[in-house]
Structure 1
Amino acid sequence: MNYGKKSVSKKRNSLISRTAMMGKRAHVSLIRVLFVALITICVVIGCTGIGAFRGIIDNAPDANDIDISPLGYATFLYDGDGNQLRKLTAPSSNRLPVSIDQIPLDLQHAVVAIEDERFYEHNGIDVRGILRAFVKNITSGDLSEGASTITQQLLKNNVFTNWTQESTWLERFTRKIQEQYLAVEVEKNINNKNVILENYLNTINLGAGTYGVQAAARKYFNKDVWDLNLSECATLAGITQNPTQYNPIEHPEANAKRRKEVLDHMLDQGYITQEQYDQVINDDVYSGIQAAQVLNSETENTVYSYFEDELIDQVVNDLMNIKGYTRTQAQNLVYSGGLSIYTTQDARIQSILDEEYADPSNYPDYVQYALDYALTVKNPQGEEVNYSKEMLKLYFQNEDPEFDLLFDSQEEGQEYVDRYKASILADGSTVVAERVSFAPQPQSSMSVIDQHTGYVKAIIGGRGEKTASLTLNRATDTTRQPGSTFKILSTYAPALNEKGMTLATTFEDEPYNYPDGSPVNNASKSYGGTTTIRKAIQNSVNVVAVKCLEEVTPQLGLQYLDNFGFTTLAHGTEADRDANGTVWTDANLPLALGGLTHGVTNVELCAAYAAIANSGNYIEPIYYTKILDHNGNVLIEKNSAGRSVIKESTAWLLTSAMEDVVTQGTGTACQLDNMTVAGKTGTTDAYNDLWFVGYTPYYTCAVWSGYDNNEKLPEDARNFHKNLWKKVMTRIHEGLEDRDFDMPASVDKISVCEETGLLPRAGCPVITEYFDIGDIPTDYCDQHFYGDDESGMQEHTTEEEIYNPEPTPDPNNPSGDNTGDNTGDNTGDNTGDNTGDNTGDNTGGNTGDNTGDNTGDTGGGDTGGGDAGGGDTGGDTGGGDAGYTEE
């Protein structure tokens, strides 16, 4: 460097020159501008970041409103005695809540040790854990290390439930910020680590379809969570990181490694001692897990019973109609709402039905199989096309017009299925879905109701193995023609209840036609002349029922059926218009014989008869008594409130007549050795549907039999339903006191003329009958009298004798020979004695009585001895419902 005078002067001049000064100032200004700009940018970025952060926080759920409890819990069904019947779960709700006090400390510590070691120290977020994870992710480059606390994971599972659908880093970043913010706020608000841990342990996915520690303990160890030991607790805690990979059933080796990590962490963090560690580290816990699976498979039945099917339907409908839920909401609540549903099912009675319906000896030897089929394919054009069993039937009817969907074996049916499917796939179509099932035929259904409460105690929706849940239930879903069971409900109930008729009211059983000219046929293909309503009920006489309904009017009969609880009747409204525009109505004379547009269900028919058994009070059949929500509060409570359909006296009079059906009419096959029974048979045209509905002082039971495709039942299959009814009801009533139906004070018994139902005169064929005291006849018979006095009464007939009658002696058998009376129909014998001859009485009585059960009216009753001395007691093939149209 030159330090000469000239050089220094030049340097000084350059420094103080205006140009130099301007350059320096410009340089300083630029630096200042850049600095200010940098500061401004930092401020802007900072403010923007703060604003963005504030926006994220502001958009987070309100910490005061969020619910950290699990979203799905299993629902439990209980029988009438409070025993667990079934656990209902959605795929993510197999969860059984337990309190923190019920969870072993070893399990609490195991989860904390492996999931969040500073859980008891941090305020919701673990800063040390975040820094550790940041450093590890930067150094490893795979960003796999997480730092979520138990509180954050709880929020992710129960508040940010859509986290699995996040697709961008911005969505994940936003949720993570909100998650951390809420974790701090939740811990601040709750200020109780045990509450947070309890909810977490009830929430976590622990594999094999289990959620929460109690469900997992049941699944893996077949024990409750509070009974788990240290080794088992470590096994469960090891699952949480990856429920599939560490599933101890499917991957015991992987779980064992993870279990060791859990125990190592517990030891390092002081939760267990070295001695405890050494005791359990080599436990063979996995053998116990496999053994538990064998036990679980024996007790778990994934297919719902017919009762459970209908129960679920009723609960869903009630949640919609009573609580206002949508169908989706109601179904979600049933399967994941943690409900407790207390049903009306009697486990003992249900098991009786199950056992009898599973016994092959209760059915005809000849078994056929009905095909149910559905196929969906994708054709070469990419369109999905559906095919049904009806289409399959039409396809093969082109080859054989007689082809139906009944096969002698399932193998035979499968051959037809394969042929049909091959024809569809011939054009290159591919199968999307297919359903093939075979049901044994003939079929049957049964229901049992406690008439005093309306509780459905048991139902069976069909014979054969039930292979799927929520499938066809013939007791509740299928409508079939009820036959003569409807005579009681549509005709005789209103006739006795408000039309002034009595069991002694008579009609002429004679050739008779409907208004359209078609004949009304009796089973016997013959006619009995003057017939009382009691006799018409006993022997299921069609002509009398139709004539009676004509007086009652079908419109009134339909009103009574509505009151009896039927929901499938056609009333001639727009709702009853078919595809052709025809409006159907059941308000016509065939209603007397059960001729309906749609038919009825088993349970509704059973409930209608239960109303008669319950002194005329109808109670809607119910399947549960109450539903409790997850917190034990009553959500819905069912009451057994009923309505009066008929008077108590009417109900008892119908019961009295239906006792005769069982003791000496068409239902003798349903007599019980240990209990009084009243009931009614029903048979439809050509034996397509067979019924018996009967009741005791305790229970009402309805049984149906027929083919699913409405085929005619063969002759050897026309009584098995009665056999089933008798077997089931005999077992149900074992140990119960046999008692009579209680006669109300509004009923009295007097003597009347059998042919007119009026007070008797001299020469009248006299019977004794029960009456509502308001309907006791006051007029005297005007068809039979001899040597009458001024009052029109025979001088030896007193009022005392009318209201307190003595047995009428047989004029052809004054000694009181009981040949016909004791073995047959007393009323029939008396009639035969008075109007027939000795031959008719003796031959009819003995022959009819001895063969009545099998031959019905063929016992000689029509030749002189009235009803052949009880010949009508054989309802199976003669004087009952067999061989005629009961529409």
Structure 2
Amino acid sequence: MNYGKKGVRNKQKALHSKSAKWGRKFALTFFNVIIIAVVAAAVIGVSAGLGVFRGIIDSAPDIGNINVQPTGFSTFVYDIDGNQIAKLVSENSNRIPVTMDMIPEYLPHAFVSVEDERFYEHNGIDIQGIIRAGVIGITSGTFSEGASTITQQLLKNNVFTDWVTEDSFVEKAERKIQEQYLALELEKVSTKDDIILNYMNSINLGQNTLGVQAASQRYFNKSVSDLSLSECAVIASITQNPSRLNPISHPDANAARREKVLNNMLKQGYIDQPEYDIALADDVYSRIQSTNKEVADTSVNTYFVDALTDDVLEDLVAAGYNETQAYTLLYTGGLKIYSTQDPEIQEICDNVFSNPENYPDNVRWYLNYELTVEKKNGDMENYSTEMFKEYFKESNLKFNLIYSSQEEAMTAIEEYKAAVMNEGDEVYAEKINLTPQPQVSLTVEDQSSGVVVALVGGRGAKEGSRTLNRATDTVRQPGSTFKVVSTYAPALDSAGLTLANIQNDAPFNYADGTPVRNWYGEAYRGLCSLRLGIQDSLNIVAVKTLTQITPRLGFDYLQNFGFTTLVENEAIGGQIKTDIVQSMALGGITRGVTNEELNAAYATIANHGVYIKPRLYNTVVDHDGNVILDNTQPETKQVIKETTAFLLTDAMVDVVTKGTGGSVNFGGMAIAGKTGTTSDYNDVWFAGYTPYYTTTTWAGYDNNTKLTGEEKNLAKKLWRTVMSEIHTDLPNEAFSVPAGIVTATVCSKSGKLPIPGLCDATLSTEYFAEGTVPTESCNVHYQGSICQYSSLPATEFCPFKVEGVLELTPIEDVSLQSGSSATAQVTNPDGSVSTVTVPPNQTNLCPHNAEFFATPGYEAIIEQQRNEIQQRNIAAQQAALAAQQAAAQQAAEQQQAEQPQQ
């Protein structure tokens, strides 16, 4: 700084400068304007925000007009004629409202501890919970932590029921603001007990139950007022995900959640350490399993309605409803469900499947048995079906819970009780479930529309709603029914093969060396067309064909046919499993298929190659008449060409006219179909169709016991009985031939164009898609010089040439593990004809080529071969003479027997 006289004068001059004064004034003014603008913008923004917020609040429902108590209306199901076939009422969903004096103190505390730990402190919204969820979301990058209070959840489920239709962020934000606002308002007019009570009466608790009373009766067979701490924790654990945390189907997942509930209750002071220890040690899940089958719905629905219910629930969730809302809407929403069931066809199916005359006389019974014993000292001991089975297997290793009569089963039960109970013990609970065997299932579909008109999920008395449905839920090995959809469909559709193509039914191994077995034993049929392979269900022909077109192609077609149970590459039991294997041709897959999906695949062929996802309902209408589910335009796709569908159909007509399915024929109706039998006779199927309907029947034991005797034909018998009655009043129709189909004459032994004079005895007329008629001549029949030693076409150097006719087996692809062999007809020197099987030879010519004659010592080899030829001729002559003598002897004996007695 310059503090001299000159510096002071300069400073004074600068202070009194007019330009400097104006600069300072302008800067100060500009700064003030900026400050005012910022303040004004903030005031305007806050005002606008407050205005928008006020508008959202003003548009919220009036707290005086809303009702958070659970309400509901009956849901009705109708068939195609408008007849009511089921009524889904709140009682069927087991909603039974209770008052607070019936609720044990543990139960609301269990819900609060895990769903809303500050429920009794906050005023409807949990600011601390919102902050926590936000922090977790920011730090983890995933905003999945819930912050809704029990009050908000109650409003969301019972007031804001249309939240699933919100499409934009603005709509969701608006609803969330209204939800929080109403939560604050509700807390002003309702007590905490009223809010938690309505919440407990409303929530979905799995197993088709709504509310804690229904859940208590379903899982423990007692009133909610009698629940223990452990049982309260089980129920409180369900609500987060009623399917995944179901204590019956997923006890391990529920147990993990229950432990969290108990830990929270201990931490939050609702229980003390002794109470916690007792509850955690409780074997509650054994008790749940032992009471599971004792509890049945008040109204038992049919298998069709069970399957329909599952489909509607699945579609509601797909439409945006959560599981609680879907259950609530279905069972208490006053819906009208218009199903696809044809009452006449369903009645036919029910009558046929319930008629004892349609089953073998020796009905057997499959036992499931559970026992709870109260010991003399008051302890409880539970005994499962598996424990029952292990007890009897100690004396009979083949014991499989199958009994020849119900009386025999009851005798075994008494023996078991005597073995496990001591003096002073008492039977506390006992469950006996005897199911007639073999079991059955059926699906009937109108292939032109994809509607399922009838469905049967088992035989015998149906004990409850939504029980095991063998038509839609059970997966079984499809056997030979898979040959058509996994192998022949892709082979004809995109792999360049035709029904005339030939495979050699001869010894053949899978890639791992395991032999492929034919169902008819160890014999082989030689050259067979694909048509014959379908007609007579030839295993080796099918496996060779799938190997040729590749299992990957077959797997891709199966997926397009609608199968959802296939395994592409999955870790199961510590091993990587896949269905993309050669055995897939014969139905050898990891899990199996359902009747409904197998039937839909065959309906695709019947529907000219167009897949239609099977459907059990057309529309679902809400209480106000609005359509909430429209299923009239289901998923469709062209899986195979129309010409391919016809070729498969025509081949499967042969199955039922002259092949393995002949017993299903009735009247003059056109029928196409395929039998299916697993190698060990655990499952038998028949999948087939007429121009009207596609139907698939299955029979087998629930525990995979081997079928015997008449049981093996049960699927075909039931199919014929049902379908003949369904078609009683329908005019006979033939399958239509689409454009693009032509016929041609081929040699049935080669599948190629016949050679005049050689193939006359093996001519066959076959259908082809345009452009696939063979252009090559027969490569099986041969006429000319034949090597008498090898019975192959002779080389120009062959010393054993004779003229004759050969039937050769063409050399197959190396991947099919085959060389060439031949069956030769050779004229012997004495004029007789011999038939000789020729060993494999990749050249299809005799071995006497230039290389043979260049081999040192070939003269000795020729001499040895000449001797072999002579020995064969002698043996053939002796065999012919013996045959002549035997025939003469038989004729003489017959003539003597026919002379009149003196």
Under a length normalisation based on structure 1, what TM-score does the superposition of the two structures give? 0.57
State the one-letter code of the partner of 2:66. I
Q: Cα deviations across residues 719-741 of structure 1 (Å, max 9, x unaligned)?
A: 23212111100110111121111
Task: Tell me which of 626, 633, 642 is aligned to 1:648.
Answer: 642
State the one-letter code of the partner of 1:644. Q
Q: Cα deviations across residues 694-730 of structure 1 (Å, max 9, x unaligned)?
A: 1000100111111111111112322232121111001
Q: Which moved more, 1:777-786 or 1:375-384?
A: 375-384
Task: Tell me which of 502, 508, 511 is aligned to 1:512.
Answer: 508
State the one-letter code of the partner of 1:637. D
1:359 aligns with 2:352: no
Task: Tell me which of 481, 488, 509 is aligned to 2:484.
Answer: 488
Task: Tell me which of 544, 565, 568 is aligned to 1:571.
Answer: 568
SS of the counterpart of 2:448?
A: coil
Indicate the residue corresponding to 1:620 in structure 2: 613
How has the CA–CA distance of structure 1 residues 583 and 431 changed in structure 2, closer, same or farther, with 3 Å as cutoff?
farther
Task: Tell me which of 682, 690, 694 is aligned to 2:684.
Answer: 690
Separation in 2 of the partners of 1:395 and 1:777?
A: 65
SS of the counterpart of 1:687?
A: coil
Separation in 2 of the partners of 1:351 and 1:780?
A: 55
How far residue 372 of structure 1 moved from its aligned partner, in angstroms, is 2.1
How far residue 779 of structure 1 moved from its aligned partner, in angstroms, is 2.5
Q: Give the root-mean-square deviation of aligned CA atoms.
A: 3.3
Indicate the residue corresponding to 1:749 in structure 2: 743
Indicate the residue corresponding to 2:773 in structure 1: 776
Separation in 1 of the partners of 2:351 and 2:478?
A: 26
How has the CA–CA distance of structure 1 residues 93 and 682 changed in structure 2, closer, same or farther, with 3 Å as cutoff?
closer
Indicate the residue corresponding to 1:634 in structure 2: 627
Q: Cα deviations across residues 793-834 of structure 1 (Å, max 9, x unaligned)?
A: xxxxxxxxxxxxxxxxxxxxxxxxxxxxxxxxxxxxxxx9x9
1:837-852 aligned at under 5 Å gives the runs none
Task: Tell me which of 645, 649, 662 is aligned to 2:656.
Answer: 662
How has the CA–CA distance of structure 1 residues 518 and 428 changed in structure 2, closer, same or farther, with 3 Å as cutoff?
farther
Separation in 2 of the partners of 1:381 and 1:647?
A: 73
Separation in 1 of the partners of 2:187 and 2:425?
A: 44
Indicate the residue corresponding to 1:66 in structure 2: 66
1:368 aligns with 2:361: no
Any conservation in 2 of the 1:72–1:92 contact (CA below 8 Å)?
no
Separation in 2 of the partners of 1:64 and 1:337?
A: 23
Q: Cα deviations across residues 405-463 of structure 1 (Å, max 9, x unaligned)?
A: 01122222123334445555549887675432111111211111111111111111111
Indicate the residue corresponding to 2:436 in structure 1: 440
Indicate the residue corresponding to 1:729 in structure 2: 723
Separation in 1 of the partners of 2:677 and 2:551?
A: 20
How has the CA–CA distance of structure 1 residues 311 and 418 changed in structure 2, closer, same or farther, with 3 Å as cutoff?
farther
SS of the counterpart of 1:625?
A: strand
Indicate the residue corresponding to 2:307 in structure 1: 310
How far residue 469 of structure 1 moved from its aligned partner, in angstroms, is 1.6
SS of the counterpart of 1:488?
A: helix
Q: Percent identity?
A: 50
How has the CA–CA distance of structure 1 residues 699 and 369 changed in structure 2, closer, same or farther, with 3 Å as cutoff?
same
State the one-letter code of the partner of 1:455. V
How has the CA–CA distance of structure 1 residues 434 and 627 changed in structure 2, closer, same or farther, with 3 Å as cutoff?
farther
SS of the counterpart of 1:86?
A: strand
SS of the counterpart of 1:470?
A: coil
Separation in 2 of the partners of 1:548 and 1:453?
A: 32
State the one-letter code of the partner of 2:585. A
Separation in 2 of the partners of 1:92 and 1:531?
A: 58
Q: Cα deviations across residues 631-677 of structure 1 (Å, max 9, x unaligned)?
A: 11011111233111111111110000000000010000001214110
Indicate the residue corresponding to 1:200 in structure 2: none
Indicate the residue corresponding to 1:714 in structure 2: 708
Task: Count matched residues.
Answer: 534
Task: Tell me which of 319, 322, 333 is aligned to 1:325.
Answer: 322
How far residue 316 of structure 1 moved from its aligned partner, in angstroms, is 1.2
How far residue 600 of structure 1 moved from its aligned partner, in angstroms, is 1.1
Separation in 1 of the partners of 2:308 and 2:417?
A: 36
Q: Cα deviations across residues 559-581 of structure 1 (Å, max 9, x unaligned)?
A: 1111111111121224xx22xx1
Any conservation in 1 of the 2:519–2:679 contact (CA below 8 Å)?
no
1:121-200 aligned at under 5 Å gives the runs none
SS of the counterpart of 2:576?
A: coil
Q: Cα deviations across residues 504-537 of structure 1 (Å, max 9, x unaligned)?
A: 0001111112222222121222111110000110
Task: Tell me which of 580, 592, 598 is aligned to 1:587.
Answer: 580
Q: Which moved more, 1:722-731 or 1:467-476?
A: 467-476
State the one-letter code of the partner of 1:515. A
Any conservation in 2 of the 1:74–1:94 contact (CA below 8 Å)?
no
1:458-607 aligned at under 5 Å gives the runs 458-525=454-521, 526-574=523-571, 577-578=572-573, 581-607=574-600
Separation in 1 of the partners of 2:93 and 2:460?
A: 31
Separation in 2 of the partners of 1:731 and 1:560?
A: 33
State the one-letter code of the partner of 1:463. R
State the one-letter code of the partner of 1:441. Q
Structure 1 gap ranges (5+): 1-57, 96-157, 160-170, 180-299, 788-831, 836-887
1:86 aligns with 2:79: no
Separation in 2 of the partners of 1:430 and 1:94?
A: 31
Under a length normalisation based on structure 2, what TM-score does the superposition of the two structures give? 0.56
Indicate the residue corresponding to 1:4 in structure 2: none
Q: Which moved more, 1:517-526 or 1:453-462?
A: 517-526
How has the CA–CA distance of structure 1 residues 532 and 458 changed in structure 2, closer, same or farther, with 3 Å as cutoff?
same
Q: Which moved more, 1:620-629 or 1:509-518?
A: 509-518
Indicate the residue corresponding to 1:455 in structure 2: 451
How far residue 313 of structure 1 moved from its aligned partner, in angstroms, is 1.1
Separation in 2 of the partners of 1:659 and 1:322?
A: 42
How has the CA–CA distance of structure 1 residues 386 and 310 changed in structure 2, closer, same or farther, with 3 Å as cutoff?
farther
Any conservation in 1 of the 2:516–2:540 contact (CA below 8 Å)?
yes
State the one-letter code of the partner of 2:611. Y
Separation in 2 of the partners of 1:399 and 1:306?
A: 38
Separation in 1 of the partners of 2:473 and 2:537?
A: 28
Q: Which moved more, 1:755-764 or 1:547-556?
A: 755-764
How far residue 392 of structure 1 moved from its aligned partner, in angstroms, is 1.4
State the one-letter code of the partner of 1:769. E
How far residue 553 of structure 1 moved from its aligned partner, in angstroms, is 1.1
Separation in 1 of the partners of 2:463 and 2:92?
A: 24
SS of the counterpart of 1:781?
A: coil
How has the CA–CA distance of structure 1 residues 631 and 370 changed in structure 2, closer, same or farther, with 3 Å as cutoff?
same
State the one-letter code of the partner of 1:701. T
Indicate the residue corresponding to 2:345 in structure 1: 349
Separation in 1 of the partners of 2:373 and 2:555?
A: 46
How has the CA–CA distance of structure 1 residues 519 and 92 changed in structure 2, closer, same or farther, with 3 Å as cutoff?
closer
Any conservation in 2 of the 1:440–1:463 contact (CA below 8 Å)?
yes
State the one-letter code of the partner of 2:88. L
How has the CA–CA distance of structure 1 residues 441 and 68 changed in structure 2, closer, same or farther, with 3 Å as cutoff?
closer
How far residue 780 of structure 1 moved from its aligned partner, in angstroms, is 2.6
How far residue 381 of structure 1 moved from its aligned partner, in angstroms, is 9.9
How has the CA–CA distance of structure 1 residues 398 and 532 changed in structure 2, closer, same or farther, with 3 Å as cutoff?
same
Indicate the residue corresponding to 2:396 in structure 1: 400
Any conservation in 2 of the 1:674–1:734 contact (CA below 8 Å)?
no
Separation in 2 of the partners of 1:394 and 1:770?
A: 57
SS of the counterpart of 2:575?
A: coil
How has the CA–CA distance of structure 1 residues 77 and 429 changed in structure 2, closer, same or farther, with 3 Å as cutoff?
farther
Indicate the residue corresponding to 1:792 in structure 2: none
Indicate the residue corresponding to 1:112 in structure 2: none
How has the CA–CA distance of structure 1 residues 398 and 68 changed in structure 2, closer, same or farther, with 3 Å as cutoff?
closer
State the one-letter code of the partner of 2:91. P
Separation in 2 of the partners of 1:386 and 1:322?
A: 43
State the one-letter code of the partner of 2:396. D
